[in-house]
Structure 1
Amino acid sequence: MSTQTVSPTTTLLRLATAGSVDDGKSTLVGRLLFDSKSVLADQLDAVERVSRDRGLETTDLALLTDGLRAEREQGITIDVAYRYFATAKRSFILADCPGHVQYTRNTVTGASTADVVVLLIDARKGLLEQTRRHLAVASLLRVAHVIVAVNKIDLVGYSEERYLELAAEITQTGAGLGVADLRTIPVSALEGANIVDRSGKTPWYTGPSLLELLEELPPADEPSDESFRFPVQTVIRPQGAARDPRYRDYRGYAGQIAAGVVRVGDAVVVLPSGKRSEVAGIDTADGELTEAFAPQSVTLRLTDEIDVTRGDLIATAADAPVPTQDVEGTVAWLAERPLVPGSRVLLKHTTTTVQAVVRDVVGKLDLDTATLEPAERLELNDIGRVILRLASPIAAEEYLVSRRTGAFLLIDAADGGTLAAGMVGDALAAAITPEDRPAQYTI
């Protein structure tokens, strides 16, 4: 199968917005959509009508992204609102995340697939605890780029001194938390300064506008030499196979390729059983393929009759992960009740779910000092390190190696609610090397 080089004009960028309450996220996104001419006429008419009904003198662009009607009428956003827009250079999928501390789980959801996180801070308030938490989440989830928009710069008189003071603090904090690529931009979402076009009110700022930067940033790189990983979602045995000779012996394993490339004839291993085979065929709704790659959804056929079920992982035989029942990882705790040693949970990894018990809580992240402090439990929105014992083995890898096979969820067995988002391995300590970390930050 030939490969095609995608030009910059056709690339897709996934971005998420985050910030503390009332920092202006929805207004910024609304301004971005409005000024880039990505708003339909009927949408704008509806927003203008609601703005007039509220007695506002100007159009409230935040209404373009506030998704739930009841909460929108109260002037707050509590859900992740997804929006799609495009410019002449690029297409975008945007996730607008809520700012309230109790909805950090939504920020984790929005950032988990993002190439870029746009984090807002109020120029008057500066960095808050929630700002540090969002920077830590972006670092843990290995988001490729973080843009901190210093919003409401108009309310501090477009002060260069205030912006430079905040930019220095943001850079230092981001470095301490391991953010790989961090940029800052002074903006006014309300007045549209440096959102789509550069503003003459900030002549001291010579960098790009927010949209210009978003158009230039490369999407998160997926390593082309990453080893093949294929979590099995379901086993396909067509009904009526005995009557149709074409499908009499058909057995296929369907799912989405998590990483790498697979070709007909490749040697593979099925985990956790360790059974080996070769790829006999690759099927899709459009016909057979000779090779497939992430993130394609395909059905694989193997040359040998092996007992394969949902939750198994088909991987390259030469460098397959070793299944384990002991997992040490970093988690963002998202539940009201605390996580303590001895807690029994369900762990969902790719397409498999197993019972697990928390053997130990190693510590939690201090957001002020970026250090891992000893802890006996994790409370709501804490980020910490835990050790888990599983009832059956999973083929997990370090999150630093693979975002797909290194991620997991902790689930409440009683009600099915999500308790935590987790990353296999010591994701926080490995964010940057010790020699790169500022002296006051140690983990």
Structure 2
Amino acid sequence: MELMKIGIDKIGFATSDLYLDMVDLANARQEDPNKYLIGIGQAKMAVIRPTQDVVTMAATAAKRIISEEDKKNISYVIFATESGIDNSKSAAVYLADLLGILPNVRTIEVKQACYGATAALQLAKGYIALNPESKVLVIGADNARYGIKTPGEPTQGGGAIAMLVSSNPKILELENPTAAYAENIMDFWRPLGHSKALVDGKYSSGIYLDFLRNVWDEQFKKTGFKLQDYGALLFHLPYTKMGLKGLRQILQDASVDDSTRLTREFEYARQFNREVGNLYTGSLYLSFLSLIVNSDSIRSGQRIGLFSYGSGAQAEFFTGILQPNYQEGLAGVDYQSILNKRQAVSVSEYEKFFESHIFDIENIELDYQEDNSDFLLMGVQDYKRKYLGR
């Protein structure tokens, strides 16, 4: 009996229409631009308008991939974020309403730092195993904020990844088993009432590599997969140099062929992340999207390895098989063109936008006339967020 395939059927992405050039930020902070361009591996940083939040960006990403027929079959919406807009009500229920998904649906929000979307993906996989005719909409959306003139400032960013999970997926079949590892570690956190994250950067980077070594070794024990069995290795990218450090750790004893192949695919996979910055929960999956959009050497049938990490800390390494005609799962969207059409802002404009985001405000009307997005945050009335879908 042939086992049912379950995995990513479609994938979509959305970010702000504004960006800050990292050279401009470096000059304003009196830093060598190469500290940002090479040292952390970032070229641009998404600048999120006050009229955009995780719900609106998620709605835009999802709208790009889901059809009216998909909406009829979606029976679960799982929204992963660490930029939640309510401590009780899930972002998923707002999203389902904006998208016009039928009301006979489950809507939940999940959280574990940047690992959240992987937890959502695994939940979706288990649900489809029991309900093979259904589809699950998985979201990873965040606005990464550390603060102006803080050490983490150049690793900010934001956006949303939307994934439709189903049986017989078009893009990636998820394999078993996976390797997971967790410890209670204070490398990154955001206490209640804080709009900006707190982080011990150097410590967190070390934990990332320690957890990668642990789950890589565990996955090998479970599967026996060697470097030659992978077409590409993907990483959570809080900044793209972090993933490069992880890849180099894995490739320490690699053959020239394996090292050349996996390094080449990693460069394709980090292209979009270099242009956007940190997506937190969506970071790993933006890297996957970047790989399948930009690589001219990746092939269907190849195995993709994915390392997911969320501070605090949780890690998982899992694999998937790239499916025939996987490009169909992109729904014909030209993401490079979308990124190229963004508008640059100055450092002072970025700082103004950063300080204008609303948190814990009872009443406010936002000026959304300059925002041409399909979905907008109009303001707050009696602590109730008001959204507009066009």
Q: What is the TM-score when the length of structure 1 is the normalising length?
A: 0.21
Structure with greater helix percent? 2
- For CA contacts below 8 A with separation 6 or more, give which structure has more relative contact order: 2
As a proportion of its length, which structure holds more strand? 1
